[in-house]
Amino acid sequence: MPEYNVVVVGAAGAVGQEILKVLEERRFPVGQLRLCATSRSAGKRLVFRGQEYTVEETTPESFGGMDIALFAGGAASKEFGPAAVEKGCVVIDNSSNFRLDPDVPLVVPEVNPEDVKQHRGIIANPNCSTIIMVVPLKAVADAAGVKRVVVSTYQAVSGAGLEAIEELTEQTKAVLAGLEFPPKVFAHQIAFNLIPHIDVFQEMDYTKEEWKMVKETRKIMHDPDLAVTATTVRVPVYRSHSESVNVETREKLTAQRAREVLAGFPGVVVLDDPANKKYPMPLFCSHRDEVFVGRIREDNSLANGLNLWVVADQLRKGAATNAVQIAELVIQYGCLRGR
């Protein structure tokens, strides 16, 4: 089997380390591997397939001889993405820098895999919450069409990085001990609290995170007129995002038929047995690649409506796994630039 040279940018962060795990678990055909990050993280040592690698500072020269560049997120892709493309790499970017660029495909492999073929050097990985929602949404859309989506998210602190995980831990300890622990990562105390505010506020007092879900969903689903509205909330959970998704379909879809459609869709696991208290929860969905769906109910207030409770690991399917799946499609479709 051919091997491909891969560079991971942001390798020392939470998503970057998850990318390395996923590459190893999925037996991605890595030939040469290069790990890059900011100057602050340069010099750290990480292990891949039993071999130790030293993280290098990212420069334009980091991409020479590489086939695929996996950017874990942040501003790096805006600074170094064009240089990587110039060196012949296909860039798969986990940041929001290129997601809404009309010339950049925004891909969830279970939903719109063919869009990979349209890339001009850069492919965007969608927002984690968007990915988690559109996988089951695609199954529903294929079965009955989708007219409107109302989504509320319950997002784990790890979506805000390693510092956010540490803040929840230390703040929880402090609160239990009756001590003060002023927030640094979040706008307010996250321990024993919910914060209905993720990213900056923008037009109509929706946050950037909420607009991501609106605009990215329309692009991925190839439906610019799809009605989507979102409320995104940070919750004191370490890992895995949960979402309450209300879908108005164009045709009637019963709850039972929805269960059958979802159970047969790639990447979805239906866990829906309320009588036995079985439904998706972050505690049991973490470190998994599937999107779990339960609490499947017909909307009692709407003729063609469904309620879904959706949970998935946002570091895996919401970020690292989706990015590696895109890389697999690039190889499958013969979309590498230098070969």
For 23-59, write each residue's pLDDT tens digit: 999 999 999 999 999 999 999 999 999 999 999 999 9
E strand residue ranges, the chain: 4-9, 30-37, 45-48, 51-54, 56-57, 68-71, 90-93, 122-124, 146-155, 227-234, 241-249, 268-270, 291-298, 305-312
Which pLDDT does position 161 carry in this prediction? 86
Closest by CA to 299, choosing from 261, 260, 262, 244, is: 244
Residue 127 — very low, low, confident or very high, per pLDDT cuts 50/70/90? very high
User: Mean of the pLDDT values across residues 305-310?
Assistant: 98
Respond yes or no: is residue 188 known to be catalytic: no
Q: Which of 36, 128, 188, 335 is catalytic?
A: 128
User: Mean of the pLDDT values across residues 133-155?
Assistant: 98
Residue 323 — very low, low, confident or very high, per pLDDT cuts 50/70/90? very high
pLDDT of 339 over the 60 cut: no
Task: For the full predicted model, state whether its pTM sits above 0.85.
Answer: yes
Q: At residue 118, what is the residue type?
A: Q
Closest by CA to 144, choosing from 276, 287, 257, 220, is: 257
Residue 1 — very low, low, confident or very high, per pLDDT cuts 50/70/90? confident
User: Mean of the pLDDT values across residues 168-181?
Assistant: 97
pLDDT in tens, 202-248: 999 999 999 999 999 999 999 999 999 999 999 999 999 999 999 99
Q: Which of 188, 241, 285, 335 is catalytic?
A: 241
Respond yes or no: is residue 222 known to be catalytic: no
pLDDT of 87 over the 70 cut: yes
Of the chain, the percentage scoring pLDDT greater than 70 comes to 99
Token pair in block for residue 260: 């059958």
- Helix then strand then coil, in percent of the chain rounded to 5, is 35, 25, 40
Closest by CA to 152, choosing from 102, 209, 203, 227, is: 209
Domains detected in the chain: 4-126+319-332 (3.40.50.720), 130-314 (3.30.360.10)
Which pLDDT does position 337 carry in this prediction? 78
Which pLDDT does position 338 carry in this prediction? 65
Which pLDDT does position 162 carry in this prediction? 84
User: Mean of the pLDDT values across residues 269-276?
Assistant: 98
| Residue 312 φ then ψ, to 5° | -155, 155
Q: What is the average pLDDT value for the chain, to the nearest integer?
A: 96
Which pLDDT does position 145 carry in this prediction? 98
* Cα–Cα distance measured from residue 330 to residue 123, given in angstroms and rounded to the nearest whole number: 10
